[in-house]
Amino acid sequence: MIRLFAALDISDDVAARLTALMKGVPGAKWRPRENLHLTLRFFGEVAEPVADEIDSELSQVGDATAPFDLTLKGAGSFGGADPHALWVGAAENAALTKLAAACERAARRAGLKAESQKFKPHVTLAYLRGAPLDRVLGFERRLGLFEAPAFRVERFGLYSSITRKSAPSLYRLEAEYPLFGRF
């Protein structure tokens, strides 16, 4: 079994800006630079034959998707009154939505169930444990008008994930898919 997800890497200059924002919230486990990404579709734990099928299906996505510019904008948290994650969002982007939908269709063709949650493009900055709600809300307010410079998306990747109890997850790029936009 292998745990997989499709994601966009974040440019180094935008990642540096995000890293500089990672402060001011007690109980936050800030993500290391190498873990900053924007998930297009989480596939979960799959057997090797399914992983191969996902790879095969994703390899066709780039033909129908042209490169595009992406802007990270705004911030928020997941979990409501008991927040468990801080994130920076993405500005509305039709090409990004189309790419995520193509990854969803690829997952379905590979035999996976439909994603139960609506796609909400974001980069997770921290996971929270016991973070004071007022500090989380202060972080959201402070970054409410945040906007990073746009960066060019010319490819996406299939990543494996190994979770660890006392350290951040390890992510490994398993395959990369260039965006060509030929069709």
What are the residue numbers of the active site?
A: 37, 122
Looking at beta carbons, which pairs linking 69-72 to residues 24 or more positions away fall under 8 Å? 69/150, 69/151, 69/152, 69/153, 70/8, 70/38, 70/96, 70/150, 70/151, 70/152, 70/153, 71/147, 71/148, 71/149, 71/150, 72/10, 72/14, 72/18, 72/123, 72/146, 72/147, 72/148
Residue type, 181: G
Q: How far apart are CA 91 and CA 71, in angstroms?
A: 6
Helical residues (DSSP H) of the chain, grouped into ranges: 12-21, 48-58, 94-109, 133-142
CB 119 within 8 A of CB 15: no
Phi-psi region of 132 (alpha: psi -120 to 50; beta: other; left: phi over 0): beta
